[in-house]
Amino acid sequence: MKSRLNINGLDREFEADPTTPLLWVLREQLGLTGTKYGCGVAICGACTVHINGVPVRSCVRAVSSVAADEKILTIEGLSRDASHPVQKAWIALDVPQCGYCQSGMIMAAVALLREKPKPSDRDIDEAMTNICRCGTYNRVRAAIKVVAEGGDARTAGLSIQHSDGSIA
């Protein structure tokens, strides 16, 4: 049976059992592998996408429960060229290590900053429940604050030299 979802602004058709989690439709039917499988039980957050702007753990969300007109946003749809302010801050501060959890981290951070443009540390603690085993948490926090403060990465004080001559 063919179904339809609106993903990153495009209507996409696919065939999958209706009980299939959204995560696996994204990854296996639609080739959007930026969204990751980490735990399958909505704990680690690697599979975080937005549905109508709300962060959702796609690994436990049956695809049949998402209506065709609901707007799904994945990491691939955040920007064409990694130019979203959150992505720019992540790049400036070299946040990722292995990077596997970072799609979910970024989607969670984008949702947080939309809800609370100037999040407190406590807001960050409560919203950023994603697991990162490399331990990038402090740079994640710093990057969120960079965005909240207007995007000047120098405020993080990491002194990272980029190839374009900029220093974060």
- Site residues (CB under 8 A) for another protein? 16-17, 20-21, 24, 27-29, 31-41, 43-44, 46, 74-76, 78-79, 81-82, 87, 90-91, 94-103, 106, 124-126, 128-141, 158-164, 168
Q: Specify the residue, 150 or 157, whose C-beta has the smaller distance to another protein.
A: 157
CB of 4 to another protein, least distance (A): 18
CB of 35 to another protein, least distance (A): 7
Q: Specify the residue, 6 or 102, whose C-beta has the smaller distance to another protein.
A: 102
CB of 19 to another protein, least distance (A): 8
Q: Is-contact 160 167, C-beta < 8 A?
A: yes
Q: Specify the residue, 29 or 155, whose C-beta has the smaller distance to another protein.
A: 29
Quote the strand ranges of the chain, DSSP E.
2-7, 10-15, 48-51, 54-57, 71-73
Residue 168, SS3 per DSSP: coil
- Joined together, the tokens standing for residue 37 give 């499988």
Q: Specify the residue, 6 or 24, whose C-beta has the smaller distance to another protein.
A: 24
- Joined together, the tokens standing for residue 23 give 């995560």
The residue type of 159 is S
Cβ count within 10 A of residue 51: 19
- Joined together, the tokens standing for residue 1 give 């049976």
CB of 71 to another protein, least distance (A): 17
